[in-house]
Amino acid sequence: MKKILILLMVLVVSACTFQTKHRGYVFPDDLESRIANIKTTTQLQNEIGDPLARTVHGENVWIYYGVDENYHGPLKHTYDNKTVLLVTVRGNNVVKTQILHDQDLPYIAMDDMETEIPAAIELNALQELFNNIGRFSPAGMGQ
């Protein structure tokens, strides 16, 4: 019984990793003061960099995003320190800047369901194996 308990404890402890990965932009602490004096897109790109996305319709808005992704072993990972920088651009001029933090952003829950692909063929492992026979040329054949 002791061996099983020790093995179980080793498995539980080995699965506990506490790690934080940064995704997107790493914004400076003084972001507000840095972007306050930016008037052109060239200054913006030199100071912050290229945007992650630009809007296609409506006003030309450059979007910068950064977040910390926290891993806690077998538990679901969480996100914090979310920051979004929205920069409205007209030509080469910066018209408006807006910084959004965690409390300013709406909570959006991701759905666990998958979108079905029309006319998709679902095969089991054995069908996949036999389906691939003859598809690949032997090594060294130059094809």
114/52: higher pLDDT: 52
pLDDT at residue 12, rounded to an integer: 66
End-to-end CA distance of the chain: 58
Digit-coded pLDDT (tens) for 86-99: 889 998 899 999 88
CB 22 within 8 A of CB 66: yes
- The model carries a pTM of 0.59
**Cα separation of 131 and 127, whole Å?**
6
Q: What is the mean pLDDT of residues 11-19?
A: 67
CB atoms inside a 10 Å sphere around CB 85: 22
